[in-house]
Structure 1
Amino acid sequence: MMIVLMDDDTAELARVMAGGLLYPVFQPIIDFRMRSILGYEALIRGPEGSELHRPDMLFAAARRAGRSLELEHACREASLRAFAGLNLAGRLFINVTPGCLLDHKMMNGQTRELLSELGIAPNRIVIELTENQQITDMPGIQEALLHYRGRGFQIAIDDLGEGFANLRMWSELRPEYVKIDKHFVHGIADDRIKYHFVRAMQDLAEICNASLIAEGIERPEDFTCIRDMGIACGQGFFIARPDCAPVRQMPGKVLAAIGHQRVSLSPMAGGVGKMPTAKTLLKPIEPVLLHASNATVIERFEADPDLDVLPVVHGTNPVGMINRHSMIDRFARPFRKELFGRKSCDLFMDHAPLVVDQHATIQELALMIALAPKHYLFDGFIVTGEGNYLGVGSSHDLMVTITEMQISAARYANPLTQLPGNVPINEHIDRMLAAGSSFVAAYIDIDNFKPYNDTFGYRRGDDVIQALGRLVCETADQAQDFVGHIGGDDFFVIFQSSDWEMRCWSLVRSFAEAVDAMLGTEERAHGGYMAENRRGEIGFQPLPTLSIGAVRVGAGECESHREVAAAASAAKKQAKKKSKAGDDPFGGSVFIERRRAGQGEPALAMGRMLN
């Protein structure tokens, strides 16, 4: 007889596994756009006081004992049972290694049977692939994920930026969620390199139609930076620590931090300061309680033919949504009313409804519904205030509002560039002032444009203006900066991005390169052309260049858009004077007004050159 000797860790692992002593903790993941909890990540722990309490020690012991897959399956089952037992709302993110994903216990229907037993819909589960083991069978992984996606599961990849393998996973697996490694998140507010790395990740996410989740948010400054960058979701100690009884609503400090949101860039509707939000769309439908019977729900629908959905609440916390047609269709089948009429309505409700804060903007709502599963288009969304149920909004009303806003925006758009014209520019400045936000107003003008337009014709002149419009939009941060076209060759940018000065100089240089590309060989060789000046005299004309006058506007420094426009116009005149001096090798200039915007004429301060 062979005797197997076990070390202390192996023996402790055997005790933990045999006794069912694993327990999960849950950490919330919030959606910045919706200002609500998207779901929870399940994290496993060994028993308190055990040497295997920490997950790294637990899984290290399992690897040494050759029981890694067995431990993963046990963790998954414990997490699902605890999630269902706590009746948590939203999605559940479960960590799965690539090897476990291909194991027969995952593919043989056991997970589906367990979800059915617990009453958890597969579309609430996000399989979070971790990169702690090398993928040797990518085609097999892709086939497995196709299998799970076909059953409603979603996919996430963990720790983007930690290694090259998960970049390949992203490109080949096309996950719905991508988690940014905490290294790039911690300290991002003070580290420009990290900021630009994450910005690059965000660009990739937009192309791949994925939502980014910033992990490891521990400082309020990083939370604000991540939010203002437009990252979809966040997770970390600043929001909430993992707990076996996690928070069900966002903590007050998190709501307060989200509340200090920058002014939206959406076109106006309804006048200054009246940007439509989820609150303007809500209908105060009386919800049903979580433990109300299905028969009660059917009675509500039968009593009100216009009622398409019913929200479900636990106390004041929304936990589900019931669709009229789905519910009635189920109960139209034989014996369904007798079998399920007295049972709780949570049996047939959507446990992961779209829940949004009342202050979520129309553009945020539209983006979420566009990226969400199709049934949200029919069910609409639940509107909350500080986590408490307020009412329900419909996607139809959202589409009507967006259409009205687009018509209003088109009415005031510049016909050549389709950028917002004077009215939207003025309205946005007034909203910024009303919100007490600090910003930079930049007036952009093309030097030497009239002789160029007169000499080469309006068509080539329009090409220059359209090229500038494209360059301004590319240079500005689309998530923070407002771009407008005053008319002719004059543009206006309201910067909220912190690196606005670098962006201005970048625009000057990129415009010079664009003009150079439009020139003939002769004009390019001589750096200009012969043409009539304003006095009708033939002479050498320099090429079009760019002058930008920028003025900082702090909270309370101006009362209206007129003051801001006057200050920016005066700064632009100073920039044109600088341009004539020929300080920049690319031509053009940037003049930055250093005094307060509301204090009369600008000081003759020189704009700084960026090396």
Structure 2
Amino acid sequence: MAQDEGSLSPGGGADDARQHGNDATPCADDLTMREQVKDIIESILADSEPRSERARNKLRALIESRPEDPEGALLEHLLETRKETAAASPVPVQREPASLHLESADAARTVSVPVSHEVREGIQAILADKLLLTAFQPVHALPGGDVVGVEALTRFVGEDGAGADVWFNEAAAAGLGTELEIAALHCALTAAHEVPDTMSVALNLTPATSSDPRVRNLLAAAALAPDRIIVELTGSLEAVEGQTGDAGLGPLRALGLRLAISASGAALVSFERIEQLRPDIIKLDRHLIEGIERNEGQKIRAKAIVELAREIGAQVHAQGIETAEELEEVAALNVTAAQGYLLGRPSVHPLDWSAWSIRAQTEAQPAG
């Protein structure tokens, strides 16, 4: 799921929406990553559940033994917890759980993804010593600025610091791309339980994965109401199937689920394809937003997309906003919503997600 530039770093990249936060700056903020890892460690240690005391004590010992490397200590703890959980759980005859989220005694952060034994082994081999997490980036309504939604972004914690795009690409090359996307979707839906219910949640999927029956089942069974879910299609849309029919996302769209696509940059889509898909949201990505205030060609393209969106009844969102000038330009285009570094970096911490909503509500209150 979804877009920013590095392993467990806040931000938004310009590559593929499932990995990046829709900002193009490719710099990984090591300090911020360490702070977020420390937040996760603190949340685990703050758990008072008696059955997880042994796991917490082990984590404390790991941190004390390597205080200069909290990331490595957390990773070792999670991998060890995964092994213990697998050893303690009976394995079904043909299918077994492959936990690819935050594996610890903190049950609210643990996700078991049902996959075959062979697929589990393949994914684990590709991920090696990686940890799959979900971060959320705020989406602000324009012109008011209220936080109306979040975009789910996949994070991998690992010693080599490889970005999510690397791991999704390698999984796809090994024929396991859909399995990894579904695992990331499962993680995002679980994390979304802690997103304020006033916010929508955007989930990034390739067209092929979005048509997989397991995706439809996961979304239908999610705690989120359909009208809070946005499925953003990433990558090529040349062979999109199942987005309107009964066998695909059609029934969920009828219940309020929204479909989003990018109509600029690397994922350039023809107007004919947009009309065929009839998306609810069209996104202007970082390729089009960067420097738009001084590029007449970009302005003309953006205006054309906004006009087409009006014709089909879709909203237009801008992503990758990094400067006040870019924000001013997209606001002048009557874009519905925006996200990017300027407005808010992605975070893995639930307290941040709630704070965005509280801050927006406070700022909206009249003075006096």
Letter in 1 for 2:219: T
2:342 to 238, 253, 256: 238
* TM-score, with structure 1 as normaliser: 0.37
2:125 to 4, 11, 19: 11
Quote the Cα distance in structure 2 between the aligned partners of 1:388 and 1:214.
Answer: 25
Quote the Cα distance in structure 2 between the aligned partners of 1:154 and 1:9.
Answer: 30
Q: Is residue 10–residue 62 contact of structure 1 (8 Å, CA) maintained in 2?
A: no
Q: Residue 156 of structure 2 corresponds to which residue in structure 1?
A: 46
Letter in 1 for 2:315: S
Quote the Cα distance in structure 1 between the aligned partners of 2:200 and 2:366.
Answer: 19
Change (3 A) 1:159 1:197: closer
Change (3 A) 1:141 1:135: farther
Letter in 2 for 1:176: D
1:208 to 290, 295, 312: 312
Change (3 A) 1:96 1:166: farther
Structure 1 residues without counterparts, runs of 5 or longer: 251-313, 319-356, 358-383, 391-611
Q: Is residue 262–residue 284 contact of structure 2 (8 Å, CA) maintained in 1?
A: yes
Letter in 1 for 2:239: T
How far is 1:27 from its partner?
0.9
How far is 1:76 from its partner?
0.6
* Secondary structure at 2:203 match in 1: strand
* Secondary structure at 2:283 match in 1: strand
* Secondary structure at 1:225 match in 2: helix
Q: Residue 244 of structure 2 corresponds to which residue in structure 1?
A: 142
1:90 aligns with 2:192: no
**Deviations along 1:395-435, whole A, 9 cap, x unmatched?**
xxxxxxxxxxxxxxxxxxxxxxxxxxxxxxxxxxxxxxxxx
Write the mapping of 1:509-528 to structure 2, written as runs, cut at 5 A: none
Q: Is residue 240–residue 247 contact of structure 1 (8 Å, CA) maintained in 2?
A: no
* Secondary structure at 1:214 match in 2: strand
How far is 1:101 from its partner?
1.5
Q: Residue 335 of structure 1 corresponds to which residue in structure 2?
A: none
Quote the Cα distance in structure 2 between the aligned partners of 1:235 and 1:25.
Answer: 14
1:78 aligns with 2:191: no
How far is 1:248 from its partner?
4.5
Change (3 A) 1:228 1:120: same
How far is 1:136 from its partner?
2.8
Q: Is residue 204–residue 231 contact of structure 2 (8 Å, CA) maintained in 1?
A: yes
Quote the Cα distance in structure 2 between the aligned partners of 1:389 and 1:67.
Answer: 52
Quote the Cα distance in structure 2 between the aligned partners of 1:124 and 1:58.
Answer: 28
Q: Is residue 37–residue 249 contact of structure 1 (8 Å, CA) maintained in 2?
A: no
Q: Is residue 289–residue 321 contact of structure 2 (8 Å, CA) maintained in 1?
A: yes
1:186 to 280, 290, 308: 290
Change (3 A) 1:187 1:9: same
Letter in 2 for 1:206: R
How far is 1:45 from its partner?
0.9
Structure 2 residues without counterparts, runs of 5 or longer: 1-117
Quote the Cα distance in structure 2 between the aligned partners of 1:126 and 1:163.
Answer: 18
1:174 to 252, 269, 278: 278
* Secondary structure at 1:58 match in 2: helix
Q: Which has the larger radius of gyration?
A: 1
Q: Residue 55 of structure 2 corresponds to which residue in structure 1?
A: none
Letter in 2 for 1:129: L
* Secondary structure at 1:386 match in 2: helix
1:106 to 211, 215, 218: 215
Q: Is residue 38–residue 90 contact of structure 1 (8 Å, CA) maintained in 2?
A: yes
How far is 1:166 from its partner?
5.3
* Secondary structure at 1:237 match in 2: coil
Q: Is residue 39–residue 90 contact of structure 1 (8 Å, CA) maintained in 2?
A: yes
**Deviations along 1:454-496, whole A, 9 cap, x unmatched?**
xxxxxxxxxxxxxxxxxxxxxxxxxxxxxxxxxxxxxxxxxxx
How far is 1:169 from its partner?
3.3
Higher RCO structure (Cα 8 Å, ≥6 apart):
2
Q: Residue 23 of structure 1 corresponds to which residue in structure 2?
A: 133
Quote the Cα distance in structure 2 between the aligned partners of 1:10 and 1:60.
Answer: 15
Q: Is residue 134–residue 153 contact of structure 2 (8 Å, CA) maintained in 1?
A: yes
Q: Is residue 40–residue 93 contact of structure 1 (8 Å, CA) maintained in 2?
A: yes
* Secondary structure at 1:157 match in 2: strand
Aligned length: 244
Q: Residue 225 of structure 2 corresponds to which residue in structure 1?
A: 121
* Secondary structure at 2:330 match in 1: helix
Q: Residue 218 of structure 1 corresponds to which residue in structure 2?
A: 322
**Deviations along 1:573-595, whole A, 9 cap, x unmatched?**
xxxxxxxxxxxxxxxxxxxxxxx
Quote the Cα distance in structure 2 between the aligned partners of 1:101 and 1:388.
Answer: 40
Change (3 A) 1:14 1:69: farther
Q: Is residue 160–residue 166 contact of structure 1 (8 Å, CA) maintained in 2?
A: no
Q: Is residue 290–residue 326 contact of structure 2 (8 Å, CA) maintained in 1?
A: yes
**Deviations along 1:74-110, whole A, 9 cap, x unmatched?**
1011111112135464100000111011112123x33
1:66 aligns with 2:180: no
How far is 1:135 from its partner?
3.7
CA RMSD of aligned residues (A): 2.9
Quote the Cα distance in structure 1 between the aligned partners of 2:171 and 2:132.
Answer: 13
Q: Is residue 126–residue 167 contact of structure 2 (8 Å, CA) maintained in 1?
A: no
